[in-house]
Structure formats: structure tokens, C-alpha cells
Amino acid sequence: MKYVFLVAWREYSENAKTKGFWMGIFVMPLILFLSIQAPIWLEQKATPIRYFVLLDQSHILSEGIESRLESVYQQKVLEALNEYSHKYAVSPLVQNTNFSGSEFADANPRSVAAFLRKGGTRFYLDQLQPSLKPGAPVFREPRRLWQRALLPAGIKPDALLNQIAQDLKPYFRSAELVAANGQSVPLSAAILIPQDIDEAIIRPRPAGAENSDTNLSSDRQIQFWSFNASDSKLHDEIEQAINNEIRQREYRARGIDAGAIRQVEQTYVSFASLNPKKAAGQENVSATDTIKQWLPSGFVYLLWLAIFVIIQMLLNNTIEEKSNRIIEVLLSSVTPGELMMGKLFGIAAVGLTMVGAWMASLFGILSWKAGGASAIAGQLLTVLRASNLVPLFAIYFLLGYLMYAAFILSIGSVCNTIKEAQSYMSLLTVIMIVPLLTMTFIPKDPNGPLARLLSWIPIYTPFAMMNRAAADPPLVDMIGTLALLLAVTIFALFMSGKIFRIGILRTGQPPKVIEMIRWALRRGS
């Protein structure tokens, strides 16, 4: 056992000195941090302000459009205020049960309407002021990402829409600039509304009536011009605002009380999503429960990545030492069995160090970002602390690594170069790709036939059971698959030891798989 430890320490120390090891330690936390922070930063800093021209020849829709865009902006303001409250208040406003402003916790249309009725930003900050931490910075409202520009002076507002559109094209190409907020800016979009808007309205016909001709000329339709087809947010908001205003006018034209209709549209029934497996009184399904259901899929990908990276490291080390004749020097001091177990445990220690660093950074980053701009970070942290995902991840990583390492050691012992090992690794990679293909399906049916079948196939057990962890799989699956995985891992290591002893000093062409199986089944070898 002494020599096994010495070989393991040598493997660990040699790999710990490589650049690849330290890149593996730091790249994953960096990716995790950027996956949370980058979208926030891009939304706040990098998203450009888009200027649009709104020409309403009918003079009935522009007010509704501007009201809609203002409501969308105020929702962003409310989200920013909630973030500011979490970050700089001793007792965040949205958690203060003595204050009716707790209804602002979710920045949805209803809470935005209440927010504006009470006085908006000034009201919120006045209520928050007594609980602000000393030295808290002044709140700054987010940028308005959509801002209205003036119609260029040389364009006649009463001309045909197609002519106006042609006159605006140089502004879209930035050959000319439009005026907005006292400065010259490039034009991003234009909304052109015809004078006879009623002709563009499509109304349902009674049953049996002939359909009216809906092939209107572009001059008789509302036109939305934009050079950026990938960003449809402005288009969608304006379309919804126009349709809402048109429906309100229809109500009034038919003698229907538009206010009563609005109240009816805001009427809804309370709908509770409940989980029968939860304790009495706690059956409600929250956003945290949804995250808990899908979080194991992230751990499956992390498990797959960790195992794949570590076994690749084991394969490269084994083949490199064999091709450089270092193996012959080592075998003069230790037995093949001691060498194999030492390499196995040494690389396992490297993997555990890497995975441990990943887990520590995961908890650290989520603790740092929880309660700030990323609400999901706090929910992820809550789920991780309350679940058994991390211990299960450690168990399945260790057993999964040992089982796949047995295959890798067998391959590495009979190959003299990485090129020779590629054919074997191609087959192993095809086998290992199955968990990735089923990664998003299993959480939808965690105790279904496919999930249970993969759970009882040892090479897929770590991934399938990790994916089912949040669904409380039957006890027979939990214990049975773990026992089977442990037995198969021990058997694979035993068979791999036989192949390793024969193949490690072998030269020439690698043997076929059938021949390797004969070595493993040979008695007394």
C-alpha cells in the first residue's frame, strides 16, 4: 500500500503542476460567474438606446403607444428599485410586512400600476429612506432603451406612408441623423400609422358571411420599419399597445362600457399549483420548486464534464509514460497492480480537487449574487442548501470515475500513442453521449420507463440517477442501482487490472477488443 500511495502522490503532484489543471480549476468558476453577471451587465451597460420615429396620421393611437412604453420602462425602474433595496437597505422594502409596498416584490403589470398610483420612484424612495445603510449611494434610474425621436423637418407628415418610408431610408443607413433630446442620433425604427386606420382593422365575420379582402396596400396598413429584425421587443410592445387601443375603441363604438370591460379583463381566478409529495401546509409549488426540478440536469452536465476531463487526463498520462518508457522504470520498483491503483487514486485526487473547487466557487458566487440583480442566484442557493444534490454528486462522480477509469486504463495500457487510442475513445464517447441526449427529457418523466431503464444500466447509472435526484425515485431504484454500480465498478477494476498487467509492457499493434476480453477472462493472469 505504501507504493500505491507514492505512485498516487506522484500522479497528483505532477498533474497539479500543469497549466491544464489550474485552467480547469479557474475556468469553470469564471464561466459560472459570467453566466450570471454577463446578461445583467449587457442589459445595463451594453444594450444600445434605440431611437424611433412615431408618425400617427390618425391621431388616435400615439398616446396609447407612449403609455404602453412608459409602463414597460416603469417596470424596469421597479425592478431596479427592488435590487437597490436588497443591496443597500437594512430591511428591504419588499420584505417589510408593515408596509403595503411589499406588493412591489414582483415587478408585474399589476404591481407597476400600484407603484405608479402611489407616486412611483419618489414614493418608494421616501419609504425606503429610514432603513438605508449609511453611505448608500443615490439611486439612479435605468436608461430608457427606447426613446422617441422627432420626424425630420424635410419629411411631410401628411404624405403617403410609402413616400415617408422612402424618405426615412437614409436615416436608417446613418447617412443622416434624427433629433432626440437635443442631440443628433441614428434612427433604429419607424412606426407609420395611416390616417384611415379603420380600413386596416380586420373584424371577424358572422358565420356564412363572405370574408372581406384583407390584401391591403401598404399605404393602408400600419408599417413598422426596422433594420434589426433580431430584436422584436419594440415591435411586440407597439403591436400590443395598438391592438389594445383598437379594442377599446370597438367597445365604445358598440356601446359597451370600456371601463367595465377593462375590469372584467383584470378579473382572474386564483390558481394554486400543489405538489402532493410535500408536507401538509407546504404543498404550494413555487419558482424554487421549479428550479429544484431542473437543477439536477445542470449537475448531470457538470458530472459528465468532470468525468470526461479526468479520464482524458488519465489516458494521456498512461500513454505518455508508456511511449516514453517511463513505465518500465516504474515497474522496476512497483508491481503492475500497485502502479495501476496508484495512477487511479492519484488522478481521482486531482478530479476531487477540481470538483471541490467548482463546488466551493458555486456556493461562493451564488452567495455573493443572491439578493441582487439576479433573483435566480438566491433561489439556486436555497435549493442547494436544502437538497442532497451535492453529496449525491460526490458519490456518483467517484463511482462513475472509477468505472470509466477502468476502461481508460485498459485502453491506455495497450496503446502506444494517442492516435492508436482514438478508435477506442470514439466508441466510448458515443456511449457517453447518451446521458447528454436525455438530460432534458428525464426531468419531465423522472420515474418513467426510459429514466428507470437508464438507471439500471451501470454505465449510465451516475447520470440518470443524478438527473432523477429531485423527483424522489423509489427506494429500490436508489439502493439497487447504487449497489449494482458499486459491484460493476469493482468487477471492471478487477478485469482492467488483468488487461493492464498484460498490456502495459506490450508493444506493436494494439489488440482487438475480443483479445482484450480474453485477457480479462483468463484464469490466473
Averaged pLDDT, 353-357: 84
- Contact, 319 vs 412, CB < 8 A? yes
Give Cβ neighbours of residue 424 (< 8 Å, ≥ 6 apart). Answer: 411, 415, 510, 513
Sign of CA dihedral 442, 447, 449, 451: positive
Residue 397 to residue 18: CA distance in whole angstroms: 22
Has residue 97 got a pLDDT over 50? no
- In this predicted structure, the answer to whether residue 101 has a pLDDT above a threshold of 50 is no
In eight-state DSSP terms, residue 366 is H
Give the β-pairing of 178-180 and 183-185.
antiparallel
Beta bridge partners of 147: 51
Distance CA 86, CA 80 (A): 10
Length of the chain counted residue by residue:
525
Which range of 272-281, 306-315, 360-369 scores highest in mean pLDDT? It is 306-315
CA distance 174 to 178: 9
The highest-confidence range among 105-114, 313-322, 353-362, 459-468, by mean pLDDT, is 459-468
Q: Could you tell me the strand order of the sheet in which 223-226 lies?
A: 146-149, 50-56, 189-193, 223-226
Cα end-to-end span (Å), the chain = 21
Task: State the average pLDDT over residues 180-209.
Answer: 82
* Residue 524 in this model has a pLDDT that exceeds 60: no
433 or 102, which is more confident: 433
Higher pLDDT, 206 or 9: 9
**Res. 222: pLDDT tops 80:** yes
Banded model confidence at residue 206, pLDDT cuts 50, 70, 90? low
Residue with cell 488487461: 499
* R_g of the chain, CA atoms, integer Å: 32
Higher pLDDT, 490 or 197: 490
C-alpha cell at 289: 420548486
Taking Cα atoms as reference points, which of 441, 464, 437, 468 lies closest to residue 293? 468
More confident of the two residues 524 and 510: 510
pLDDT category, 388, cuts 50, 70, 90?
A: confident
Instruction: Give the DSSP letter string of 491-515.
Output: HHHHHHHHHHHHHTT--SSPPPHHH
pLDDT band at 187 (very low <50, low <70, confident <90, very high): very high
Q: What confidence tier does 525 reach under pLDDT thresholds 50, 70, 90? A: low
Instruction: Tell whether the model's pLDDT for residue 48 goes beyond 70.
Output: yes
The answer to whether the CB of 192 falls within 8 A of the CB of 165 is yes
Q: What is the pLDDT of residue 284?
A: 64
Q: Which pLDDT band, with edges at 50, 70 and 90, does 191 fall under?
A: very high
pLDDT tens for residues 25-36? 788 778 777 776
Residue linked to cell 422584436: 232
What is the mean predicted confidence (pLDDT) over 346-371?
A: 79
- Cα(347)–Cα(342) distance, integer angstroms: 8
Residue boundaries of the structural domains of the chain: 2-37+286-521, 49-202+216-265
| Position 373 pLDDT exceeds 50 | no
Whether the per-residue pLDDT at 447 is higher than 50: the answer is yes
**Cβ proximity of 442 and 464 under 8 Å:** yes
Calculate the average pLDDT of the chain. Answer: 82
In a 10 Å sphere around its CB, with 0-12 CB exposed, 13-18 middle and 19+ buried, how is residue 338 labelled? buried
pLDDT at 211: 53
DSSP reduced 3-state for 489: helix
pLDDT band (50, 70, 90) for residue 218: low
pLDDT at residue 94 greater than cutoff 70: no
> Mean pLDDT across the stretch 472-484?
91
Give the type of residue at 468.
R
C-alpha cell at 503: 498490456
State the chain's maximal CA–CA distance in angstroms: 100
Return the C-alpha torsion angle 514, 519, 521, 523, nearest 10. 150
pLDDT digit string, tens, across residues 244-279: 888 888 888 888 886 777 777 767 676 666 766 666
Task: Name the least confident of 220-234, 392-406, 483-497.
Answer: 220-234
Pure H helices in 89-132 = 109-117, 120-128
Q: Is the pLDDT of residue 415 over 60?
A: yes
- Give the DSSP per-residue string, 315-347: HHHHHHHHHTTHHHHHHTTS-HHHHHHHHHHHH
